[in-house]
Amino acid sequence: MNWELRITKMSNGYILKEIVDGEEDKEGVIQERNTPSNKGELEAMKELLCLVKDTFGVFNSKHDMYRLDVEVKEQK
């Protein structure tokens, strides 16, 4: 089975098309939200990266020594 994820950047988020074995399977949207801290663009990117991680099977256990974690950090 082959998976493909097509991502199109729009002015306010992303359009996603998931393709399985050459056939379009799912379509989705990740939209930037207006937030008081103006981090909507970062949160949308975080959501996109987590979706890519989940789509392509990078799963971790809380007991694993190493984990891939996507987060938005406040700069101090």
**pLDDT tens digit string along 17-63?**
999 898 888 889 999 988 777 788 999 999 999 999 888 877 777 78
**Amino acid 49: pLDDT:** 93
Give exposure, 63-73, as e/b (b: 16+ Cβ within 10 Å). Answer: eeeeeeeeeee
Q: What's the pLDDT score for residue 37?
A: 75
* Tokens at 42, concatenated: 């970062």
At 47 the pLDDT is 93
Q: How much helix, strand and coil, in percent to the nearest 5, is found in the chain? A: 20, 35, 45
pLDDT in the model for residue 65? 87
Q: 62 vs 16, which has greater pLDDT?
A: 16
Spell out the domain ranges in the chain: 1-76
pTM as predicted: 0.79
